[in-house]
Amino acid sequence: MDWQPTADPGMLRVRAALLARIRDFFAARGILEVETPLLCSAGITDPTIEPLMVERGTSLSQPRYLQTSPEYAMKRLLACHGLPIFQLARAFRDGEAGARHNPEFTLLEWYRPGFDHHALMVEVAELVRGCLGERALHYCSYRQLFLDTLGVDPFAAALDELQSVARAHLDTGTISGDRDLWLDLLMSHLIEPQLAERGMCFVYDYPPSQAALARIETIDGVAVGHRFELYVDGMELANGYCELLDPAEQRGRFEHDNHRRRELGLPQRPLDERLLAALEHGLPGCSGVALGVDRLLMLSSGVADIREVLAFDWAHA
């Protein structure tokens, strides 16, 4: 019967205990829990992520965006107060619903002034081990991971070389696209499955085109985005940045996103001018990370389907 919950009482208790453990972790470190709006006047511009929207109503003169992450509002708090903060937030993304995805989900996000992305990776590992128990822990740069696994340099390889590597291992059919499409294909289909054998694996320093809201720095003559992702037993769990502080560069990245949206036939998104104003005011040097709580619960419970850890999945909401 479709009115009934998809999670049983035991799973609801496990979820409650996990949320309490997370809050205890941050309380012990003096990191402040905050809440920010779910409905905002601007949403994300990233062409790979689509927000859900609430249309005009009695109290809404313009459509509002259900937030895909609390990142922008939390950075506005950081710019004003400069405190380390965390949030357990509901987030919304239009797209796939299945074994690992639900359009409405729980996201843990936190920001650490004074941390670079390497220091934050250490803290993320402490939290995850506190929730899952001891596991093997590995750190590997994005570049080294491609070199070790596929023998190709993702920063230097020509587009046709990336295509050749993909076609040698996969049926790519009529797929066409830019370098990032082929890098994502190689990562998701050939590299990520091998990460299942590494326990906890941090992948860091991505190509600049995949930096999102992370700083870009030149290391050994190569520009890299100071971003990391955490995989646990092969499942992508967290995404973090050493945060971009330059408002002009951030505006340029938003505008580039909208340019890509036009090329792809996607709707344009308004720039979050309040975030840009906060960056103009000054964001402290910091790193931040978003971690999927539902996936963390899946890992701690040993279940393979996200619907088993949700009180009501998308089909029953």
CATH number of the domain enclosing 230: 3.30.930.10
Structural domain count of the chain: 1
* In-domain check, residue 13: yes
Per-residue pLDDT at 219: 87
* In-domain check, residue 60: yes
* In-domain check, residue 301: yes
Query: What would the DSSP string read from start to end of 201-217?
Result: EEEEEE-GGG-TTB-EE
Per-residue pLDDT of 255-293, as tens digits, reads 999 999 999 999 999 999 999 999 999 999 999 999 999
- Residue 139 CB partners (closer than 8 Å, separation 6+): 121, 201, 202, 204
CA distance 217 to 25: 31
Q: Which of 48, 11, 67 is nearest to 209 (CA)?
A: 48
* In-domain check, residue 298: yes
Which pair of tokens denotes residue 111? 């920001």
pTM for the whole thing? 0.94
CA distance 2 to 297: 23
* In-domain check, residue 54: yes
* In-domain check, residue 46: yes
Per-residue pLDDT of 188-226, as tens digits, reads 999 999 998 889 999 999 999 999 999 999 988 899 999
Per-residue pLDDT at 60: 74
Per-residue pLDDT of 23-45, as tens digits, reads 999 999 999 999 999 999 998 99
- Residue 250 belongs to domain spanning: 9-136+199-316
* In-domain check, residue 25: yes
* In-domain check, residue 224: yes
